[in-house]
Structure 1
C-alpha cells in the first residue's frame, strides 16, 4: 500500500506540473492568448476589451490558471473558438475512436512483438534471421508510408478492408480499424520484438538457467519459470512506453485514414489556433501517458516484489 500511495502522489504531482505547463506555454507565444482569440482579425478596441473581460485576461496569471484547473478537474475545458461548443463535448464524441484504435494496436503490438521476439530467441537460426530482417524493415519505414502501402494493397487492391471511417459496433469497428491499427502497430511491434529477443537471450545464458538444466528440468518449464518471467521486466518497460506513445502516434494515423478521433481534432485545432481544444487534448494525452506509466510501475511490483520496497 505504501508503494501504491507513493506512486499515486507522484502521479498527482506530475499531472499538476504538466497542467501548469500546458496552460502556461500557450500564453508565452507571440501575442499571448489574445492572438488565439482574435485569430486573423485585427479587432477594435471595444472587441479587445470585451474579449479580455470574457476570458478574465485582466486577472493575474496564477488566478487564471487555478480557475482553469478547477474547471478542468470538473470536466469543463471551456468553449471551442472554432466549433462554438464545449470542448468536453468535442472530446467525448471523438475519444472512443482513438481509444479503440490504441487498444487494437496495443493488442497487436503485445501479441506480435512478444511472440516474434520470443520465437527468434528460443529457436535461433533462420527464424532469428527472418525476425531480425522484418523488424529492421518496419523500424526503418515511416508510419505514413506503411499506411499508404496497406491502403494500396489491402484496401484498393484486394478490397479486404475499408479505407475511411471507424465503423459501428464491435465487429464493424474491428473491420474498419484493422488497417489503421496495423499502421500504428507494426513499427512498435518490431521494436518490442527486438527488445524481447535480446532480453530472452540474455536470460537464457544466466547461471540459474544452466543450473536448472543440470538438474534435469524440462526445457518448457525452464523457459516458463526461469526465462520468460525474468525477461518480462525490461519488456514491460518497453510495452508501457510504447502503449503510452501510441496516443501521439495516433495523430498521424487518424489523419491518414480520415478517422474522427482526438488526434485529428488536435491537428485541426493547432491549424485553426483553437487554444482551448489544444490545451484539453494535450492535457488528456499527458494524463493518459502518466497513468500508463503508473500501471507499468504496479506491474513491476507484481513481476519482481523487490521493486516495491
Structure 2
C-alpha cells in the first residue's frame, strides 16, 4: 500500500468516525433528564405560550432528524449555532477562547516531550542509582493528578512566592506565555512521568538487542550506538505514546483551565455544562473529538517514517 493510498484511507475513516461522533454529540443532549425547554427556563414556571415560543425559537418542535441535519449543515459552514448563556454565536466564543487552549496545550506538550525524553534516556543509559532515582521521581509524577498539581503550583509559585500570576490568560503572546506557565506545568507533570517511563522501557529493550551487541563489538562509539541503534529504534513506541499524551492534554485542560481561570475552551465547556448551554457544549465536544482523531491520524502517518521497519497500516502490531 502506497503512502498516499494509506493517508487517503485514514482520512476517509476519520471523516466517517467524525460523522458518527457528531450524531452522538448532538443526540446526547436529548438523553439528559427533562426537556431542553425546561433547562432554558431554569426551573421557572412559564405559560404554554412561553414554552411554545422557546420551542419555536430553538426549533425544538422539529423532528430529530431535521434538527440534526440542520445543525450538521451549519457545522460544515462553520456555524455552531447561538449560545444560550452568552447570547452570541458559538463560533465567536470559540474563536476568542480556542487560541488560548491551543497555546496552553502546545506549551505543556513541549515540556512533556523535552522532560520525558530526557529523563527516560538518562535512566536507560545510566542505570543504577540514577535509574532508581528517576523511577522514583516519575512514580511520584504519575501519581499526581493534574488538578492536584495545579493547586500545589498555584499555592507555592503564585500565592506564596509571587513569581507567576495566579490566574488569567494575559494579553499579548509574551504575557500569555507568562500566565500559562504554571497551568502548562500542572498539565505536564503527570505526563512527563508517563513518557519518561515509556522511553526508558523502550530504550532498555533496544539495548538488549543483538544489533546493539554487534555494533559495540565493531567498535562503534557508545554515543553513536545510543543515538542510532537504541534511541532511534525506540521512537515508534515513543511516538505512539506522544499521541496518547496529546489526547490526555485535551481532556485534562478542562480541570487546569478551571483551576487557573484561564478562559479557554476547557473552562468554557465546564461553565456551559453547568448552565446547560447545549450549542456550546456540542461545539466544544465535537472539536475535542476532531482534535483527538487528528492527533491519531498524524501519529499513524508519521510512524512508518520514524520506523522504516513498520509497514503502512500496522500500528497495532507495532504497539
- Residue 130 of structure 1 aligns with which residue? 133
Cα contact 2:112–2:188 (8 A) shared by 1: yes
What is the deviation of 1:71? 0.1
- Residue 7 of structure 1 aligns with which residue? 10
TM-score by length of 1: 0.96
1:240 and 2:219 matched: no
What is the deviation of 1:276? 0.9
Cα contact 1:209–1:227 (8 A) shared by 2: yes
Cα contact 1:300–1:307 (8 A) shared by 2: no
What is the deviation of 1:41? 2.3
Structure 2 residue runs of 5 or longer lacking an equivalent are: 314-319
1:231 and 2:234 matched: yes
- Residue 92 of structure 1 aligns with which residue? 95
Q: Which residue of 30, 51, 58 corresponds with 1:48?
A: 51
- Residue 311 of structure 2 aligns with which residue? 307
What is the deviation of 1:93? 0.9
Cα contact 2:83–2:277 (8 A) shared by 1: yes
- Residue 146 of structure 2 aligns with which residue? 143
1:168 and 2:168 matched: no
Q: Which runs of 4+ in 1 moved over 4 A?
A: none
Equivalent position SS for 2:132? helix
What is the deviation of 1:164? 1.6
Change (3 A) 1:307 1:34: farther
What is the deviation of 1:33? 2.7
- Residue 72 of structure 1 aligns with which residue? 75
Taking the aligned partners of 2:213 and 2:10, their CA distance within structure 1 comes to 37
Taking the aligned partners of 1:139 and 1:86, their CA distance within structure 2 comes to 39
Cα contact 1:233–1:300 (8 A) shared by 2: yes
Cα contact 1:195–1:235 (8 A) shared by 2: yes
Structure 1 residue runs of 5 or longer lacking an equivalent are: none
What is the deviation of 1:67? 1.0
TM-score by length of 2: 0.93
Taking the aligned partners of 2:205 and 2:190, their CA distance within structure 1 comes to 23
Taking the aligned partners of 1:34 and 1:301, their CA distance within structure 2 comes to 51
CA deviation digits over 1:165-199, x for unaligned, max 9? 21222322221111110000010111100010001
CA RMSD of superposed structures (Å): 1.4
